[in-house]
């Protein structure tokens, strides 16, 4: 794999990436590659990742990559592999998704998750769901059920369910329930108690609005569970199909029933779209950060459209700057906080050594305006996943500048 250099918002993309992308997408509707495998890129949230827990963050990303690659090697499509990666991320007590998620004001765990299949363009999502260990499995089941067509009497199948209705639908479709108290961890419970004490103290003190706001921001930095948000993954499979998924426990001390960007809004938390006549590249995006900022900018879909340009690195940098940090929809925000992982790919036929050798060229990128973002990536040809905690350049301010990194991967196989 070829690595990209770290870049702040004012830096230009490295010219070294021009040559790998000089190959244009090859039309091969009737040809399918054999033994290509696939590629996965995951993230464990955009926010703040302490050095003391860096090992744990990287380890869960490695496990998520391996889980997805195992499914790809077994012949699974991208949408199945991306769901498998999310299950691993949700099961980790170090992420704010599934097990160990942030508790709301009522002391309960309510999760959001969504998934999108680039081949069918179907989408499934759940919001504010309680009592389900892996919310992404419910979102994925909604997606797969919708692909079967209309229900009895011509009813349209749901693609997005919330609250008790989402829980009951999941159980009715064979997904086992999990008591909410078993989903809370020692860490998430202690964070809830700490935040509750701070809120009670703040309400008693007759301070001005500005001082209260500063206190809330300070508590967010001190509370590890409040510093990380959505986790996600994007995948391309052996046939060149792409898929994306996201999952989150939401903000700490959120109001009961709040739904974040990963499920509430199509095109904000994740996006996946196979190449077509209009788009030469297949693209997949997963986002993380302040849900309200991602909702108002529809960041996932904006980034997907942007990287259809010839220079994906420059296009993503400009999209993050113009469509996010400087977005007219976020005027008045002191800090615009978010992060994205992006991949685009095209199928190419090598000139040498044989016209029967076909490859998928994958360019993968991540960018964030938060202090840090933890990512992991792996192809089916790799023996193990690579992980990295990306951080803003020294001297820059979170929410006002960005970092962007990534690489290129070539997957090869024979044409049937």
What are the Cα distances from residue 187, in Å, to 190, 203, 220, 230, 288? 5, 24, 15, 18, 21
Quick one: how far is CA 102 from the chain centroid? 18
Distance CA 308, CA 306 (A): 5
Structure tokens at 162: 């919330």
**Is 287 considered catalytic here?**
no
CA-CA-CA-CA torsion for 65, 71, 75, 76, nearest 10 degrees?
Answer: -100
Q: Looking up tokens 């980790």, which residue turns up?
A: 92
Q: Looking up tokens 């301070």, which residue turns up?
A: 207
Residue 267 in 3-state DSSP? coil
Q: Looking up tokens 């419970």, which residue turns up?
A: 189
Three state DSSP letters for 153-221: HHCCCCCEEEHHHHHHHHHHCCCCCCCHHHHCCHHHHHHHHHHHHHHHHHHHCCCCHHHHHHHHHHHHH
Q: Are 382 and 342 in contact (CB under 8 A)?
A: no
Selecting among 95, 185, 207, 230, the annotated active-site residue is: 230
DSSP letter string over 110-163? -EEEEEEETTT--EEEEEEE-S-S-HHHHHHHHHHHHTT---GGGPPPPSEEEH
**Active centre residues (catalytic):** 230
């Amino acid at each position: 794999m070829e690595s990209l250099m770290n870049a702040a918002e004012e830096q230009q993309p490295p010219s070294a990436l021009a040559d790998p992308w000089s190959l244009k997408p090859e039309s091969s509707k009737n040809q399918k590659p054999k033994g290509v495998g696939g590629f996965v890129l995951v993230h464990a949230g955009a926010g703040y990742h302490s050095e003391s827990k860096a090992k744990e963050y990287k380890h869960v990303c490695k496990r998520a990559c391996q889980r997805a690659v195992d499914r790809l090697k077994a012949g699974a499509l991208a949408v199945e592999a991306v769901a498998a990666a999310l299950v691993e991320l949700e099961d980790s007590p170090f992420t704010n998704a599934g097990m160990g998620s942030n508790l709301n004001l009522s002391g309960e765990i309510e999760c959001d998750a969504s998934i999108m299949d680039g081949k069918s363009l179907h989408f499934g999502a759940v919001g504010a769901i309680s009592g389900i260990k892996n919310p992404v499995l419910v979102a994925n089941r909604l997606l797969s059920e919708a692909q079967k067509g209309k229900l009895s009497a011509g009813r349209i199948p749901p693609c997005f369910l919330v609250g008790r209705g989402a829980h009951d639908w999941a159980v009715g479709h064979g997904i086992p329930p999990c008591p909410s108290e078993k989903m809370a961890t020692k860490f998430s419970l202690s964070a809830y108690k700490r935040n509750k004490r701070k809120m009670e103290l703040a309400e008693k003190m007759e301070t001005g609005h500005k001082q209260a706001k500063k206190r809330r921001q300070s508590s967010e930095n001190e509370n590890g569970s409040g510093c990380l948000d959505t986790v996600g993954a994007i995948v391309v499979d052996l046939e060149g199909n792409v898929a994306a998924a996201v999952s989150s426990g939401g903000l700490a001390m959120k109001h009961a029933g709040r739904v974040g960007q990963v499920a509430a809004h199509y095109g904000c938390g994740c996006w996946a779209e196979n190449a077509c006549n209009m788009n030469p590249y297949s693209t997949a995006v997963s986002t993380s950060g302040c849900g309200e900022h991602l909702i108002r900018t529809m960041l996932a879909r904006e980034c997907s459209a942007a990287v259809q340009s010839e220079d994906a690195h420059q296009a993503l940098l400009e999209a993050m700057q113009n469509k996010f940090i400087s977005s007219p929809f976020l005027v008045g925000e002191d800090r615009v906080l978010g992060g994205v992982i992006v991949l685009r790919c095209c199928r190419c036929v090598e000139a040498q050594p044989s016209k029967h050798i076909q490859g998928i060229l994958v360019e993968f990128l991540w960018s964030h305006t938060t202090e840090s973002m933890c990512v992991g990536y792996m192809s089916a040809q790799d023996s193990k996943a690579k992980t990295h905690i990306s951080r803003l350049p020294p001297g820059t301010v979170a929410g006002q500048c960005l970092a962007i990194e990534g690489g290129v991967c070539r997957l090869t196989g024979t044409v049937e």
